[in-house]
Amino acid sequence: MRQWSRREFIQFVTVGTTAGIAGCNALPGSDPTQKESRTPGEGGQPGGDAGEGVPVSGNVVGISGSAISDATIDVIVPKKGVVDSTTTDQQGRFEVGEPSAPVWVRATASGYVQRTVATAPGATRRIALTPRDGTVSLTFGGDVMFGRRFYQDDDPLEPHLQIQPDERSASHDTILQYVSPLFGDADITSINLETPLTTTAWRHPSKLYSFVSHPDAAAAMSRAGIDYAALGNNHTLDALPPGLDDTFQALSDAGVKNSGAGESSTAAWEPTYFDVQGLTVGMLSCTTVTGDQYDIDWSAEDGQSETYTVGEESAEGTPDSETLTFSGSVGVAAATEPQLSEHVAQTTSNADLTVVQIHGGNEYQPKPTEQIEQLTESAISAGADVVVNHHPHVTGGVERRDGALVAWTLGNLVFDQELWSTFPSYLLTVHATRDGVIRAYVDPLLIEGYVPKGVVGKPKTWQLRNTAALSSDEFSLDERTLEYVDGKDSTTQTVTRTLNGEGTIFERKSGWIDRVLDGQSSVELGRDLLPTGTFDNSDIDGERYEGPLWRFSRGEESNGPGFGHGDSGGIQLTRRADNTQRRILTTAARVPLAGPTTLLGQYRHESDTRLELLVRWYESTSGSELDSVSIDLGQTTGWERLKQPLETPATANYVRIYFRLYPPDGGDESVARLDDIRLVEWSDTDGDGGKSYDHLRVQDTVTIQFGTTATSGDNVSWSELN
């Protein structure tokens, strides 16, 4: 492990160049003399006392843009419900509440589908409503499971929600309460239930991962507003037929409909129908992952009888008998093109709208496999209006394809996975009429402590940009929304600018890189890998400044407003002479990467106690490190910019960064503050741009065509990071 001296490191702390951005082509917001700060509202919360609040405001319009007066505006706080209300004026404007943390704001108007949006103190939101008449609203969430680590001991450095056996019902309610306001907007809310709901001790004898959740989850899902559970997946039969029977019973008792599994292939393929808003909606569920490699698979296509004898390592607890014999036709709908086409066509003949959910693809890969693409095309050709795919546990894109709405993967909604790429998520909402899909949009979420929460600020923008990069051009992107509206022009406006630099880094405020027109060898495109590195209060949970996706010792003196640069949110590490251990800030998991990176941030350390930056690279999510580098961050006289280039080893696929404050030798306590931490991964370009890139590094002169879906190309702003 290489040790860097203060002299070696200081050259990387000084950022910028006098070249700046060329002449009259300077981008808005790029004045290198301007002090860097985070914008209140959607971009971050104001500093100051935690009890201070400022109103949220905005306007309510129809999807055509016309103002909606007399709309009811409710401010919703998790655990408290509606805390304030108002109505819009004749111009559709409103101002309401004085929240001191992010909240949900719901707009309800006669003749329209209601809409709930995430917003922050001081933010101004434009809320567009869809006409109600003949319109069905459907909301889709990702993979759901309430077992395993939900019952394990909490980690004080990375807390997660624990389901308490003596308060099991309330615990399940808590898991879903932070996003239930979004469920309430929909006529039908759907999730992929990737677990049996059972108390049986039977388990699949061969699977490495068997998920089991308590039946109390069904009632909690119903109370939260979930109407349908897709069961066509590779975990529905984890507790064998007794677990499937319990699942059917629990869902039925709770009033949650389902499809995708059954006592036979015919039953597994049987659709569920909803009659809402004068329309019939048919819901199908199936999977490509059927366990063919095991003696006991879970496909409902296998009619062979199976016998399972309990052994010493069979299950958690003792089943009622030692032998379980069941028909191999019990299981889930196995997705093949002939079966899928046949059942979609049958469902379409009985429904005004047909929704198909397909479970398959490669885990942790956002793009679909060829098999999933072919099955999706088959479903659309047979009449599907909406196709939602699951299984990869990470988020993918959304698109319009041959008149249908397709989501390639929604990631997790409720899950206990601890992989970095599984933490970001979103809900997809689709509005449809008898004629098909007329609108669709995504609401970004963050899985924090296994629990989904709405987000504002950087995590929201980060998710929107990454989803947009994987989506079709019909979906219009701005800094607060990613949506499709039928008949609305989402044509990209472009503006061309020339930038000069000598290693200068520019950060994105708005607009994206559409094309690099000239000077391709002089520019690198960068993407920040850390969505929560600002440490602002970005999630909607009624709490304050938790520092999600980071490991550190939490407490009143560790993070919050005033600890960051410019009195924003930040992290404070504190050590006294009598401490024996270092104080550490690190990411909650290893971060996947593929190329060289630059670690950026702000730090303040006004003592001579050692503050260390440690970077470790790994080949996989487990196992020992491949390489590491240690850098001493010396004493400062205030806030200093951190800029550390990092060369990724050839065989490394993951990285983890650590800030470590050592105890002082004596005297006063040592304090270090950290803020705005970014890990920017760089890519060369052959001229193509991308909506996910949020940084540029310019070595000479480059001409770039920037894009925006705003009505004016002036809404493009990239500023020099100084």
Which H or E run includes 97?
none
Burial class (CB within 10 angstroms; exposed 0-12, middle 13-18, buried 19+) of 15: middle
Tell me: do 70 and 178 sit in the same domain: no
Tokens of 481: 């929304």
Asked whether residue 515 is domain-assigned, the answer is no
Tell me: do 145 and 87 sit in the same domain: no
Asked whether residue 79 is domain-assigned, the answer is yes
Residues present in the chain in total: 722
Domain boundary among 89, 116, 131: 131
Tell me: do 381 and 341 sit in the same domain: yes
> Residue 52: what pLDDT?
63
β-sheet bridge partners, residue 405: 386, 400
Dihedral of CA atoms 684, 689, 690, 694 in degrees, nearest 10, equals 70
Contact (CB, 8 A) for 480 and 42:
yes
| Integer Cα distance of 136 and 281 in angstroms | 9
| Integer Cα distance of 479 and 715 in angstroms | 10
> Residue 15: what pLDDT?
28
Asked whether residue 578 is domain-assigned, the answer is yes
> Residue 305: what pLDDT?
67
For residue 332, which amino acid is it? V
Question: Given pLDDT bands bounded at 50, 70 and 90, which one contains residue 41?
Answer: very low
- List, for residues 158-212, the tens digit of each pLDDT value: 899 999 999 999 999 999 999 999 999 999 999 999 999 999 999 998 898 999 9
β-sheet bridge partners, residue 412: 143
Tokens of 712: 């004016």
For residue 105, which amino acid is it? V
Question: Given pLDDT bands bounded at 50, 70 and 90, which one contains residue 32?
Answer: very low
| Integer Cα distance of 694 and 684 in angstroms | 14
Residue 88, domain CATH? 2.60.40.1120
- List, for residues 53-71, the tens digit of each pLDDT value: 899 999 999 999 999 999 9
Tell me: do 243 and 359 sit in the same domain: yes
Tell me: do 91 and 157 sit in the same domain: no
Contact (CB, 8 A) for 648 and 627:
no
Tell me: do 70 and 175 sit in the same domain: no
Question: Given pLDDT bands bounded at 50, 70 and 90, which one contains residue 310?
Answer: low
**Strand ranges, E, within 336-475:** 353-359, 386-390, 398-401, 404-407, 412-414, 424-433, 436-448, 451-454
Q: ∠410-332-192 over CA atoms, to 5°?
A: 20
For residue 15, which amino acid is it? V
> Residue 555: what pLDDT?
85
C-alpha distances in Å from residue 675, one per residue of 40, 93, 568, 633: 16, 35, 9, 14
Contact (CB, 8 A) for 68 and 129:
yes
Asked whether residue 352 is domain-assigned, the answer is yes
- List, for residues 509-554, the tens digit of each pLDDT value: 999 999 999 999 999 999 999 999 999 999 999 888 899 999 999 9
- List, for residues 144-162, the tens digit of each pLDDT value: 999 999 999 888 898 999 9
Per residue, the 3-state secondary structure of 154-194, as one string, reads CCCCCCCCCCCHHHHHHHHHHHHHCCHHHHCCCCEEEEEEC
Residue 7, domain CATH? 2.60.120.260
Please give the average per-residue pLDDT across 462-491, as a whole number: 93
| Integer Cα distance of 591 and 614 in angstroms | 14
Annotate 42-62 with b (16+ C-beta within 10 A) or e (fewer): bbbbbbeeeeebbbbbbbbbb
For residue 620, which amino acid is it? S
Please give the average per-residue pLDDT across 74-101, as a whole number: 96
Tell me: do 91 and 237 sit in the same domain: no
Tell me: do 283 and 401 sit in the same domain: yes
Domain that holds residue 150: 136-291+330-449
> Residue 254: what pLDDT?
98
Nearest to 141 by CA among 444, 391, 426, 468: 426
Tell me: do 649 and 572 sit in the same domain: yes
The alpha carbon of residue 193 and the mean position of all alpha carbons in its chain are separated, in whole angstroms, by 18
% the chain with pLDDT above 70? 89
Asked whether residue 510 is domain-assigned, the answer is no
Domain boundary among 415, 432, 449: 449
Tell me: do 109 and 218 sit in the same domain: no
Nearest to 591 by CA among 656, 676, 645: 656
Burial class (CB within 10 angstroms; exposed 0-12, middle 13-18, buried 19+) of 381: middle
Question: Given pLDDT bands bounded at 50, 70 and 90, which one contains residue 714?
Answer: low
For residue 618, which amino acid is it? Y
Q: ∠487-492-496 over CA atoms, to 5°?
A: 165
> Residue 542: what pLDDT?
84
- List, for residues 261-281, the tens digit of each pLDDT value: 999 999 999 999 999 999 999
> Residue 323: what pLDDT?
81
Does the pLDDT of residue 453 top 60, yes or no? yes
Does the pLDDT of residue 123 top 50, yes or no? yes
% the chain with pLDDT above 90? 81
Residue 352, domain CATH? 3.60.21.10
- List, for residues 12-25, the tens digit of each pLDDT value: 222 222 223 333 33
Asked whether residue 539 is domain-assigned, the answer is yes
> Residue 18: what pLDDT?
28
> Residue 320: what pLDDT?
64
Question: Given pLDDT bands bounded at 50, 70 and 90, which one contains residue 499?
Answer: very high
Does the pLDDT of residue 239 top 90, yes or no? yes
- List, for residues 324-336, the tens digit of each pLDDT value: 888 888 999 999 9
Tokens of 488: 């609305």
Q: Which residue has the higher pLDDT, 722 or 564?
A: 564
C-alpha distances in Å from residue 611, one per residue of 2, 345, 535, 632: 16, 64, 19, 6
Helix 370-381 / helix 337-350 crossing angle, nearest 10 deg: 30
- End-to-end, the C-alpha distance of the chain in Å comes to 30
Domain boundary among 651, 668, 684: 684
Tokens of 1: 């492990």
Please give the average per-residue pLDDT across 397-405, as a whole number: 97
Tokens of 568: 């924003």
Asked whether residue 617 is domain-assigned, the answer is yes
Tokens of 689: 């741009």
Burial class (CB within 10 angstroms; exposed 0-12, middle 13-18, buried 19+) of 141: buried
> Residue 677: what pLDDT?
98
Tell me: do 122 and 142 sit in the same domain: no
The alpha carbon of residue 166 and the mean position of all alpha carbons in its chain are separated, in whole angstroms, by 31
Tell me: do 442 and 589 sit in the same domain: no
Q: Which residue has the higher pLDDT, 722 or 520?
A: 520
Q: Which residue has the higher pLDDT, 18 or 462?
A: 462
Asked whether residue 481 is domain-assigned, the answer is no
Q: How many domains does the chain fold into?
A: 3
Tokens of 17: 């160049």
Q: ∠482-486-490 over CA atoms, to 5°?
A: 50
Q: How many other CB atoms are found less than 10 A from the CB of residue 183? A: 22
Cα torsion angle, 348, 350, 352, 357, sign: negative
Q: Which residue has the higher pLDDT, 439 or 158?
A: 439
| Integer Cα distance of 153 and 131 in angstroms | 48
Cα torsion angle, 690, 693, 699, 705, sign: positive
